[in-house]
Amino acid sequence: MQKNRLFSFLTLLVLPILAQAQSPVSGFMNGKGNSVIAVSYSAEKYDKVLLSPNDANGVPVFNDVKVNSASLYASYGISNRFDAVLSLPYISAKGNANESVLNELGYENTRSGIQDLSVFLKYNPYNCNIGTTSLHFMLGAGVKTPIGNYKVDEGLQSILAIGNRATSFNGLAIAQVRFNDGLFLTTQAGYSLRNGQVPNALIGEIKAGYAGKHIYVDAWFAGQVSDGGVNILGEGFQGFFPATDVSYNRVGVNVYVPIAGGFGISGGLSQYLNGRNVGQSVGFSGAVVYSF
């Protein structure tokens, strides 16, 4: 009974909303006919670039970079075993280059626009109980494709590119264990096939948390390992950033509080631990969530 109460929150689905680095699908199902819509905001900043073999303190040309994004997120329970998930972010990346440097190079301190539309389907083929603990297994498949006309081929200006313009086809396997006191653990792993020169990647995430009636919290650890690609400033690098080997580990926390009438608010923090060919950003995020 307690378990049913704890996991009845559709709003648990907020957990993938908050950060781009998190998997777009969670370990919880919507339930037939149930929907979640969320609008989220995130802000990240970095002044260190994780490179291979040595990191760069200070972002070349731009010194430091702030990335702000606003995202629309929606999910719908097609049936008790099928969810559809959609997200679409608008991203603004701002550098801090000196004006004379910008003039000299013909660069700008800002790149912004609508980024990539993600559409995922999640299937929950099997659940089982072991005593008071339940196990849930899911499969996810989705496409992420650029909607906006943002550029990625502007040389070092594209340090500020808001995406990689690849269309990716993603497959995920998800397993979740839930305890009757509200604790849960979700792991997922998958592979992302990308078109163009963007290397494919292994993706994974582990998330542990507590889902109670009045609050939801989690801590997550996510990683990506690119399957190929060149290193920035390494052999084969031609100034085209989408072709680089973007690999990283990232951690974060989320918290969600239901307010009333299906509305809730959430917030999160995230930080890159290590990696290559990516800015070591730290960021926070917040969202307003409506479940119905």
Partner 1 sequence: MILSQKILLITAFAISLFGITSCVKDDQDITPSIASIAVTNADFSTLEGAAIQGGVAVVLSNANPSDPSGDYTVFAPNNAAFARLGLNTEADLAVLNDAFLTNTLLYHVSNGNLIGNTIAAGGRSSSALGPDRRFVQRGSDLYINGSKILATDIQAENGTVHVIDKVLLATGVDIVQSALALTDSKVFITPELTFLVEALVYTDLVGALVAAPGSPSFTVFAPSDAAFKQLGVDLGVALNTPADIRKLPKETVAAVLLNHVVADGGKFTSEMNGGAIAPLGGISITLGVFTNGTLTVKGNGNSMVANMIIPDVQATNGVVHVIDRVLLP
Contact positions vs partner 1 (CB under 8 A): 51-58, 60-61, 98, 100-101, 103-105, 131-133, 156, 177, 179-181, 183, 185, 187, 202, 204, 206, 208, 221, 223, 225, 231, 233-239, 245, 247-249, 274-276
SS3 187: strand
Which residue's CB is nearer to partner 1, number 72 or number 269?
A: 269
Nearer to partner 1, 209 or 258 (CB): 209
Number of Cβ within 10 Å of residue 131's Cβ equals 7
Give the residue with the Cβ less far from partner 1, 39 or 183.
Answer: 183
Looking at the DSSP bridge assignments, the partners of residue 24 are: none
Name which of 74 and 227 has its Cβ closer to partner 1: 227
Closest approach of partner 1 to the CB of residue 12, in Å: 19
Place of tokens 């912004």: 112
Closest CB 9 distance from partner 1, rounded Å = 21
Least distance to partner 1, CB of residue 178, Å: 10
Q: CB of residue 107 vs partner 1: minimum separation in angstroms?
A: 10
Backbone conformation region of residue 208, classed left if phi is above 0, alpha if psi is from -120 to 50, else beta = beta
Alpha carbon distance 10, 52 (integer Å): 42
How far apart, in whole angstroms, are the C-alpha atoms of residue 185 and residue 206? 7
> Minimum Å distance from CB 263 to partner 1?
32
For residue 220, the cross-strand partners are 207, 252
> From CA 72, how far away is CA 288, in angstroms rounded?
10
Residues in the chain: 292
Nearer Cβ to partner 1, position 193 or 206? 206
Nearer to partner 1, 104 or 108 (CB): 104
Q: How far apart are the first and last CA of the chain?
A: 22
Neighbours of 273 (CB within 10 A): 12
Least distance in Å: CB of 208 to partner 1? 6
Q: Are 45 and 65 in contact (CB under 8 A)?
A: yes
